Amino acid sequence: MSRIGNKAIQIPSGVEVKVGADNVTVKGPLGSISTPVNSMVTYTVADGVVEVGRTGDTRQERAQHGLRRTLLANCIEGVTKGFTKSLEAIGVGYKISVQGKNVVLNVGFSHPVNFPLPDGIDAKVDGGKLSISGVDKQLVGEVAATMRRVRPPEPYKGKGIKYVDEQIRRKAGKSGKK
């Protein structure tokens, strides 16, 4: 039995939820986003609450029940509050800048790395920290992970691009074996 799927989702004021044949569209103050529906899951919108139900009790239907409820809850949270991931560049001479819809990463290569931002994603730089924000939780996380992959943090000096709240496990160098 899916416990998370049974929780009703409150619709905040200013948010509109429309259930279609192929997807559920959510519109709010920060934008619009949609999530696909599954034939094993039913949606009921009434009195400022969305309830997600399932058609049967098989393992697949129970799995889809919790998944679709969570995806819809993320859409509602995204159009009201938005999602943010923060990265920071650690290293001598490492810096990040935003030029229009491109993020320019100077992270120790012989050339700057230009990273074009997809639609719906905004980036802000504050010192060596980069904040990536948007309404789609999956897209924000994917963009942040792709930028981190340009120069992941290395375990000896900790140089590279890392999440702000990430802990890097450090290793001792050659002389650390004594």
Which element (helix H / strand E) includes 59? helix 59-80
All structural domains of the chain with their residue ranges? 9-80, 83-163
Task: Domain 9-80: state its class.
Answer: alpha beta
Return the exposure string of 118-153: e unless at least 16 CB atoms fall within 10 Å of the residue's CB, then b.
eebbebebeeeebebbbbbbebbeebbeebbeebeb
Distances (CA, A) of 31 to 21, 43, 75, 135: 21, 22, 10, 7
β pairing state of 95-99 and 121-126? unpaired
CATH 3.90.930.12: does it fit domain 83-163?
yes
The Cα 138–Cα 90 span in angstroms is: 25
For residue 100, give every residue at least 6 positions away whose Cβ sits within 8 Å of its Cβ, in sequence order, or none.
none
Closest CA to 90 of 168, 146, 28, 10: 168
- Statement: the pTM of the whole predicted model exceeds 0.85: yes
CB 105 within 8 A of CB 147: yes
State the pLDDT at residue 3.
Answer: 84
Residue-wise pLDDT tens digits, 88-107:
999 998 999 999 999 999 99
Residues shown for the chain: 178
Per-residue pLDDT band for 64 (boundaries 50, 70, 90) equals very high
Per-residue pLDDT band for 172 (boundaries 50, 70, 90) equals confident
Q: What is the mean pLDDT of residues 165-172?
A: 89
